[in-house]
Structure 1
Amino acid sequence: MKAMVIKSFGEAGVFEIAEISKPELKPGHVLIRVRASTVNPIDYKIRSGLLKSLAPETGVLGFDVAGTIEEVGDGVSKFVAGDEVFGCSGAVKEHSGALAEYQLVDANLLAKRPANLSLEECVALPLVSITAWDALIRGANIKEGEYVLVHGGAGGVGHLGIQLAKMKGAEVFSTVSSDEKAEIVKGYGATPINYRNLSVTQYVEEYTNQKGFDVVFDTVGGDNLMRSFEASKLEGRVTSVNTRITCDLSILHQKALSLHVVFMIIPILYNQDKGKAQHGKILNEIVRGVESEDITPLIHKEVFPFKKVSEAHSLLESGKATGKIVLRGFDISD
């Protein structure tokens, strides 16, 4: 079968098209004819060599998958051949990614496509929605009426965080860097805060009467983690998807904050059956949110074919994409 593979680490141009073996069906899994995938930051971090220890043995990246089930393995009862499904299948170590004609996926990681989204639309949801759910629903356990600050609310994980927090009845605020992004977060129901115009002290005073936010969701990482601690109220909850930073945690102690860190691929990386089943359950909750029109994915205007995955990686790394970058699978003419 055809696949886009990396045979070395480096710049976005290292991808090449290759013929590799079609996966063999095994119990508890389904074989998917891949129709779409996406580009996530973890994809380019693996490709560049920053996270080379996670690289898939086949060299095939692509964490999100959407497609049609061709075969069902022993022990799988919730899907049949012909079902259109989506999920975050992983592209780490022994788990080959979605940038191929076919992918073998643990059935627990999947859900059926929402009725009101196409495969190319719903593929934008799995990794980011599971991450946001883990951060805000499982980790921070947000409650109705709480003040929630989402850093980077116009981003892939951030815009799902806003929508999940709104579904829980929270008052949601989001940091943005431009008027365009302010309109995006307003469209999802959040109050925009342009961090270029207001300091943390200023927006905490303006929007929380100096008390701080009940929950702060950091989707940015780096130095922004310290700003998240600063924006939190006493005994508040901070949750982050990127804590690869050395910092002074004195403020964490002084304010008695709790910190929840999210690395959503752990169930796949460590083959945790319970965690993988939880991913499938979360996706079914996301499906319900999509079908009730409480959740809408933000998708970049240009869809790239698998053969142009290098261009898609370059775009994501440039920071110029608005919304999730979707990749269209191989077709008969490829």
Structure 2
Amino acid sequence: MKTMALSEYGPDAPFAQIDLPQPAAQAGQVIVRVEATSVNTIDMMLRNMGTDLGFAPSLPAVLGMDFAGTIAEVGEGVTGFAVGDEVYGCAGGLADLQGALAEYMPADVRLIAKKPTSLSMREAAAIPLVGITAYEGLKRAGVSKGQKVLVHGGSGGVGHIGVQLARSLGAEVFATDTGEQRLSVVRELGAEPIDFKTETVADYVAKHTGGAGFDAVLDTVGAANLTNSFEAVALNGHVATTLALAELDLSPAHLKGASLHVVFMLIPMLHDAGRETHGAILAELAALADSGALKPVVDAPHFSLTEVGAAYDRLASGNAIGKVVVEA
């Protein structure tokens, strides 16, 4: 089968077409004919940093965690899925799990779900990693009806899903971003946009919460921005972050009695722990999409499998709106 693989790691490492043996379904697996995959920040980190991350695939490396496609083969013991089913998930591209930058991909059935019928393959492939991440963050933060929720990076991959999921939970949602186009996306998704370049944290906390702070903050920017999240959260509130890779003074969170939740959705894949949870979340996200409550924002440019290098460059440029998708 055709793959687009790396023969080395590094920021300038090129993707090259390599023919590899087509995988056969093992017990508990399906083989998916990949029709689309999306590029995530963690995919870029793997390419750039390789073995420094501790879970990079062996070379030649077939990256790509997210996918949407059609089941071509079903392994022993698999129930609930059949050849021809359209599915989606986040099931490879790290450690010993082959990724989606290939014609065919093996996937643990616990990590997949039926694709939303209302979405194209291109749209469905944009959801899994960011959807699971946003879902876990909001659930850990205990978001519920009537709360005020702040999402940092509202037009980004995790952020734009988080805005919609928080609204589906009945929350009043606010989201930071900057630039006319990004703020417009935030508004269209149903959140009150906050331009972080023109409004201070103190200003928007006063404006939107009367100074009390937000019940929950989903921080998809992380690192130094966590300080802004601690400033924005209410007393005894919750901050969920997808990026905690920084040394920070936690005093502001301590003085508010705030809870900090660090979300790393790759744990089930890396440690084979609780994988069925991801399948269940994906099924729930599919139902939300088919009900009209969830619609992924897909970046405008189209990329084919052989153009995956350009797709990575697009995400790295910072100009993408929503998710960058590569189609077979």
Normalising by the smaller structure, the TM-score range is over 0.9
> What is residue 251 of structure 2 aligned with on the other side?
250
CA shift, 1:322, in A, is 1.1
Q: Which runs of 4+ in 1 moved over 6 A?
A: none
CA shift, 1:170, in A, is 0.4
Question: Once superposed, what is the RMSD of the aligned Cα atoms?
Answer: 1.0
Q: Deviations over 1:144-183 (max 9, x none)?
A: 0000000000001001000010001101000011121111
Is 2:220 the partner of 1:184? Answer: no
Secondary structure of 2:218 counterpart? strand
CA contact (8 A) 1:174 1:185 kept: yes
Secondary structure of 1:165 counterpart? helix
Q: Distance in 1 between matches of 2:180 and 2:90?
A: 32
Q: Distance in 1 between matches of 2:83 and 2:214?
A: 47
Q: Distance in 2 between matches of 1:200 and 1:320?
A: 25
CA contact (8 A) 2:6 2:13 kept: no
> What is residue 194 of structure 1 aligned with on the other side?
195
Is 2:34 the partner of 1:49? Answer: no
Q: Distance in 2 between matches of 1:122 and 1:93?
A: 24
TM-score after normalising by structure 1: 0.96
> What is residue 279 of structure 1 aligned with on the other side?
278
> What is residue 18 of structure 1 aligned with on the other side?
18
Is 2:257 the partner of 1:259? Answer: no
> What is residue 115 of structure 1 aligned with on the other side?
117
Secondary structure of 1:186 counterpart? helix
Alignment of 1:28-39 (within 5 A): 28-39=28-39
Q: Deviations over 1:219-241 (max 9, x none)?
A: 00121011100101111100000
CA contact (8 A) 1:69 1:84 kept: yes
5+ long unaligned stretches in structure 2: none
Say which of 56, 63, 68 aligns to 1:66. Answer: 68
5+ long unaligned stretches in structure 1: 330-334
CA shift, 1:13, in A, is 4.7
Amino acid of the structure 2 residue aligned with 1:117: L
> What is residue 131 of structure 1 aligned with on the other side?
133
CA contact (8 A) 2:161 2:294 kept: yes
Q: Deviations over 1:1-49 (max 9, x none)?
A: 1111111111255211101121122100001111111110001100001
Amino acid of the structure 2 residue aligned with 1:80: A
Q: Deviations over 1:47-104 (max 9, x none)?
A: 0016542211250000001111111011111100011110011311110100011101
Say which of 84, 95, 98 aligns to 1:82. Answer: 84
Q: Distance in 2 between matches of 1:36 and 1:52?
A: 25
Secondary structure of 1:223 counterpart? helix
Amino acid of the structure 1 residue aligned with 2:75: G
Q: Distance in 1 between matches of 2:156 and 2:34?
A: 25
Equivalent pairs, count: 326
> What is residue 156 of structure 2 aligned with on the other side?
155
CA contact (8 A) 1:12 1:311 kept: no
> What is residue 332 of structure 1 aligned with on the other side?
none
CA contact (8 A) 1:234 1:256 kept: yes
CA shift, 1:121, in A, is 1.4
Q: Distance in 2 between matches of 1:125 and 1:99?
A: 16
Quote the sequence identity (%).
44
Is 2:93 the partner of 1:91? Answer: yes
